Chain A
Amino acid sequence: MRRTILLLAAIASLPAGFALAAADVAAGQEKARTCVGCHGETGVSPNPGIPSLAGQQDQFIQWQLVFFRSGRRPNPLMVPIVAGLTDEDVRNLGAYYHSLPYNTTILDSKPDAALAAKGKAIAAQHGCANCHTDTFRGERAAAAIADQREDYLVKALTDYRSAARPSVGVAAMTEAAAGLTDDEIVAVAHYLATFEPPRE
């Protein structure tokens, strides 16, 4: 009770509009102990079909957890794992995974310059960078997708295309993926999985 009062007093003295640093990275790390078996000890996934989460956008992680928790992203593995998470757990997990160093090495892809060039053209045509930014490290709720696992990127785009998973941004991904052919998905995934940011 006393802690609550102190906390409320502390909050009351903050400048208005100041976003409280409510998220607790250490608590997120503790919660993430269940996650490391699949998503990797450092948040870099060694497993086919499982995404890396290290350095992922905080808000994107939170939205995916909320989607799993409500069953709107009906993944049979993830739904039961996150079912008991509180809103606070969700915020802490987002902060924890965002705090881990981003993977910049190519995971399990054999670079193919021609395929990457095709993917680059498709990404430009569909305006991917408009939300995911020019480095493809994402921003706010738009996911970081550079150097993600290629097999996972194929799966994600295929799932968005068939509306098997929901999209933030009022169905932005559902619509961006709707017109992609299988070959185009393979090319975009390869381009992103082997992405090298232009050197300064």
Chain B
Amino acid sequence: MTSRSRRSSLFAALPLLAAAALPLTAASAADLKSYDSSKPSFWAHPPPDWFLGDETDAQKGLAPPVGPATPTPAAELQNDLKLIKLPPGFKIEIYASGIPEARQMAWGANGTLFVGSFNATNVYAVTDEEGKRSVKTILKGLNMPTGIAYRDGALYVIAINKLLRYDNAEASLDKMPEPVVVYDDMPPYVAHGWKYLVTDKNGWVYIPFGPPFNIGIPPTSVSQIRHVDLKTGLAETVALGVRNSVGGAIDPRTGDYWFSENARDWLSDDTPSDKLNHVTRLGEHFGYPYCHQGDIPDPKFAMGHKCSEFTPPVVNLGAHVAPLGMKFYTGSQFPAEYQNNIFIAEHGSWNRHTYQGGRIERVIVDPDGKNAKQEVFASGWITGQRDYFGRPDDILEAPDGSLLVSDDWAGAIYRISYSK
């Protein structure tokens, strides 16, 4: 109830007569807040409480931190990397720097590394000529092009509500072609509207749709994951009851889709936990907004639902760790026990008094989601109670079996490699 203190005082200011005349059920409904998504204005300006939630005075100031305006200079970043802790035999180095707000990465068939960005509006290409890497901005002015994918010669970019295809991309780095819109049946809001793309061998692309607020009853078109047939643009609902997912991967053992999910904010520093989920049948419900981390009914929005109605997470990753991009490891460079393990880039906290996450997590799990174990693989990006020198946001395996990690805070990509 402490989190309601501010609200209570607001209600106290209402004309007493009106408050007294309300039947109990109407008062509870008002307490739940309702969002009218039937008008265009909702989609232009969704409620701002996705970051300014039901915070108490004790939580004041826990706003999303803003990173440096310019990418961290390479010499400084080199020095920062001394802080990173890895298991024996592994090392981390800068793969490329000077990439403002670097997000999802994808390889072109001829070795071009494509990189999306958060607010920078850019898509980059990192090319390597005999070990000398250069970074080129190939697309500008896109609306949060966080998610990218490469398939059959084309670069796919998702910019909030448009899935765009750039044909013959690797041969067109100097002048990208006009894009073809593959799919745009998506709402235009920015809040939790940035996305991540995962393609499978059948030519589907998996796209998450976050709700435009922290917690609430979502409009029916969001809080879900769809997959879209890249050839026809036909879409199906893959998962329901999903809050903010900005990462996923196909299990090479089964072809199943797995995804990371950021849990609601403003409940407390230590709950609820962020999740790793596994989809085993189309349309299963993962609990949002009724149930969190598999076992916490939402204090306001459970509305009689029980957690047992929903698919539980494979593993709870911790509160406010912010799991984003993830990949199954299929390379031969790392020791054999890493085969088919999941690496998850954790972006780290904002809505917590002491940040956690800001690291790479390793999850070892059976193809059916059983016997999950997790451990920290790489850590050290958090430099103080509430400070970062970098924030990992995506993972990609390189052809030699090393692991690339993108960082949208330092504006860089790292390479983690192993040798005996």
Contact = CB atoms under 8 A, between A and B. Distances in A.
A and B, one complex? yes
Interface of A: 7-8, 11-12, 14, 16-20, 22, 59, 62-63, 65-66, 70, 72, 87, 90-91, 94, 127, 129-131, 133, 140-142, 166, 168-172, 175-176, 178-179
B66 A63 contact: yes
A12 B69 contact: no
B66 A66 contact: no
Contacts of B79: 11-12, 14, 16-18, 20
A11 B64 contact: no
B60 interface: yes
Contact of B70 (A20, A66, A141, A179): A66
B65 interface: yes
Contacts of A91: 70
A17 B80 CA distance: 5
B69 A66 contact: yes
Nearest to A72: B121
A153 to B, nearest CB: 20
B75 interface: yes
Contacts of A66: 69-70, 100
19 contacts: A8-B75, A17-B79, A17-B82, A17-B389, A20-B76, A22-B73, A59-B66, A66-B69, A87-B70, A130-B52, A130-B60, A142-B63, A142-B66, A170-B119, A170-B190, A172-B63, A175-B48, A176-B52, A179-B45
Interface of B: 45, 48, 51-52, 55, 60-61, 63-66, 68-71, 73, 75-76, 78-83, 98, 100, 119-121, 140, 190-191, 383, 389
B117 to A, nearest CB: 11
Contacts of A166: 119
A175 B191 contact: yes
Contacts of B140: 70
Given A8-B75, A63-B66, A178 B45 contact: yes
Nearest to A61: B69
A175 B49 CA distance: 9
A66 B65 CA distance: 17
A98 to B, nearest CB: 13
A140 B69 CA distance: 11
B80 A11 contact: no
B51 A170 contact: yes
A17 B83 contact: yes
Given A17-B389, A176-B52, 17 more contacts: A7-B75, A8-B75, A11-B75, A16-B79, A22-B73, A59-B68, A62-B69, A70-B120, A70-B121, A90-B69, A90-B70, A91-B70, A130-B60, A166-B119, A168-B66, A170-B64, A172-B64
